Amino acid sequence: MPRREPMNPMNRPTLLSRRKVLGGAVAGLCAVTGKTAQAHQDLTAESGRLIVAGVADSQCGRWADILVPALAEALHVPPFTVTTTTGWDGVTGANLFDIQQEQAIPPAGLIVPGRAVLAAMCGDSRVHYDYQRWVPTFLSHQPMVAVGRASLHRSLSSIIKGQPLRVAVSTYAGAELPTLLALDLLALRPLPVPGFGTPSAAIDALRAGTVEVIQLPFDGEYAGLMASLQEDGFEPLFANALPKDVFQHRGLPPDFTAIYTQERKRAPSSLEYDVWSATTAACAMKAGVMLPILSSPSQVALWRHACQTVASQQDLRSHARDENEVMVTGNACAAAYTLMMPDVSVLMALRRWLSLNIPKWRDTLARRSGPPAPQQNPN
């Protein structure tokens, strides 16, 4: 009889039993659930602190009062510890957020105004952060309006008569920068006069004849202030807002692009216009919730969903309506923030424009404010 070789257990065909299939499925489900739970634990561990780039009474501080508790609830984490910072433009808080990312448990997020982004664009020496490495999850948007003695659709040459157009600004590279760039694009020779950091101070300077142009936020007080200014002969010149801005259906004056096209009979297409667009987008951001660049995809997704959820709550909607701001979340938030990250050629053009003009502006103001030249004796 032929000899039969015994069967090797390793060569025996393996049959998938129902028990093995169910066991594999349960193991896979447990792995996915474990990863989700771990991501949530990481989020909970790292979300104990939020930094507000501004004082408690700033726009970011007021947003934080209602936004932070709502976010903690939407994220299902313990209440956040909020750290406010000094400074009027958010640079101090943004620097603190960047430095503390090296800690064992870094801050979970940053609530920052667009002026901190503008400072980085301009190459401010105080800036030690890279705003392009932040991940936006929430933005509050509000445009600005340039106001002057006469509207720009009239004869520009008859308005300025060859003289520089004095513009009230907080600083040379402050939030009024879009207005300066817009007037320069219209060849109106803007001359910024620094030291007017509040709307009330700028309005007083406009009425006193110290300046010819000011910039006002399109906030809840704009309608009343503009009505009073119109009684004195002042008009809105243009809005520092990008085309198709949502506020165009809320009484916003014509945007600068439309005014430029009207005056020049062509659409703007220069590098300086790209600079204006980027700075306008930055200055329109009144408050933004940012995550660090090393946030995991699960964290980013959770925060974005939470921001979309809280933006529909009545408290936040009421605050946005009172401040005349628009909340931007989701894909629209990412797209809006992308407008603040132009090509490097645009940033270099902005810094070159400032480096060329700031010395001229200072010299012009020094000559105007200096003592009169002594009279020579004709005898």
- Band the pLDDT of 221: cuts 50, 70, 90: very high
The predicted-structure confidence for 281-305, as pLDDT tens digits, reads as follows 999 999 999 999 999 999 999 999 9
Where are the chain's structural domains?
47-141+285-351, 144-281
pTM for this predicted structure = 0.84
- Band the pLDDT of 320: cuts 50, 70, 90: very high
Task: Compute the distance between CA of residue 145 and CA of residue 326 in angstroms, rounded to an integer.
Answer: 16
Superfamily of domain 47-141+285-351 in the CATH hierarchy = Bordetella uptake gene, domain 1 (3.40.190.150)
CB atoms within 10 A of CB 350: 25
User: Which among 274, 262, 50, 242 has a CA at the least distance from the CA of 144?
Assistant: 242
The predicted-structure confidence for 76-103, as pLDDT tens digits, reads as follows 999 999 999 998 899 999 999 999 998 8
- pLDDT above 70 (res 205): yes
Matching CATH topology for 47-141+285-351 and 144-281? yes
Q: Which residues contact 115 (CB under 8 A, 6 or more apart)?
A: 88, 89, 90, 174, 175, 282, 283
The predicted-structure confidence for 260-272, as pLDDT tens digits, reads as follows 999 999 999 999 9
| CATH assignment of 144-281, among 3.40.50.280, 3.40.50.300, 3.40.30.10, 3.40.190.10 | 3.40.190.10
User: Which among 159, 151, 322 has a CA at the least distance from the CA of 229?
Assistant: 151
Percent of the chain scored above 90 by pLDDT? Answer: 76
Residue 150 pLDDT: 65
User: Which among 97, 126, 114 has a CA at the least distance from the CA of 292?
Assistant: 97
Task: Compute the distance between CA of residue 149 and CA of residue 233 in angstroms, rounded to an integer.
Answer: 6
Mean pLDDT of all residues in the chain? 86
Residue 35 pLDDT: 46
